[in-house]
Chains A and B, each alone.
Chain A
Amino acid sequence: MEQCDMIHQYLKELERYLARLEKAQAQEVLKEIESHIFDVLEQQQGSGQVVDAKAILQGFGEPRQLAFAYIAHITDGAPPPAGFKAIQKVKQGVTATLYYTMAAFGFSIAFALLFVAGAKIFMPDSVGAWSAGNGNSLAIGFFASPYPADQELLGAWFIPVAIFSALLVITLTRKVLRVLKNNM
């Protein structure tokens, strides 16, 4: 049924824009609007009127705008309950610290990996990955005197593996940072 499709598409889109609400809250909003729409449709059908989903949806406005009205209090932090502001501030402080720590941590690991990969090109004998302690630990890096007795694991493959790992770490760090930024 075309009318139903239109409604479902509308609700789906609305759900997407309500993503900033807690899940249960968003579901509650959707449930209420869905209930309203189908109520009106049934009433129209019952009284022999032309069923017009489009007109009903028009009353709700664009999904984006409707969702915005529901999440506006989150985006501008309007009416917080008493005592809430302080918590928000603390949370914000923690998030900021976490953000910069995460950035420093992730990017320095990535930088170190890239550096080691570069060093391998020039000093192939003292840079690499070694298995130490009978495979109980793994040593990656730059050693003036490489681990005796144990074999180097990757050889020249160390370079692409290190570069790939660095890129992976950068991507992951950026993803985490983006999530943290949204919560700041």
Chain B
Amino acid sequence: MTIEEKEEKTQEKWEVQLRKGTLELVILAALQHRTLYGLELLKLLQSFKSAAITEGTLYPLLDRLKREGIVDAQWVQEGDVRPRKYYSLTTTGHHKLADLITLWRQSVFDIEFLLAHPGPDVLPVQGE
């Protein structure tokens, strides 16, 4: 394995971890004041580079969120098409989203702060 390949792999790993960590927030955000069925939600997520997940990840996750009372699901039959299961946020889900948003913004704020202050002035930089 060359150094470039190794670096690429590490980066990929980080990306996977990041996506995993933010997935719940992403799904809750997508369902904010919106009711979507699985395929719709999947396509929406896949249209974002950082949120592209597979069917096999999405559906069990929705199942868990439903069990935890964060989302609600309802089968809807429209005309001749087969019934679809629509998901929406519950009150608990909205609270959870608010909590996650706070954490997310704090995280972004902190990281951005670090990035904006490279040193040597304000913050001590290790190794210098």
Contacts and interface: CB of A to CB of B under 8 A. Distances in A.
B39 A70 contact: no
Contact of B55 (A29, A59, A70, A79): A59
A50 B39 CA distance: 19
A37 to B, nearest CB: 9
B56 A39 contact: no
B60 interface: yes
Contacts of A33: 55, 59
Q: How large is the interface on B (under 10, 10 to 19, 20 to 34, 35 or more residues)?
A: 10 to 19
A2 B81 CA distance: 23
A154 interface: no
Provide the main secondary structure of the chain B interface. Answer: helix
A32 B59 contact: yes
Nearest to B82: A35
A33 B85 CA distance: 10
Contacts of A29: 59, 63
B56 A35 contact: no
Q: Which 7 A-B pairs have the closest CB atoms?
A: A69-B60, A61-B56, A59-B55, A60-B56, A59-B54, A60-B55, A32-B85
Given A32-B38, A39-B84, A56-B55, 6 more contacts: A31-B83, A36-B38, A38-B82, A59-B54, A60-B56, A73-B67
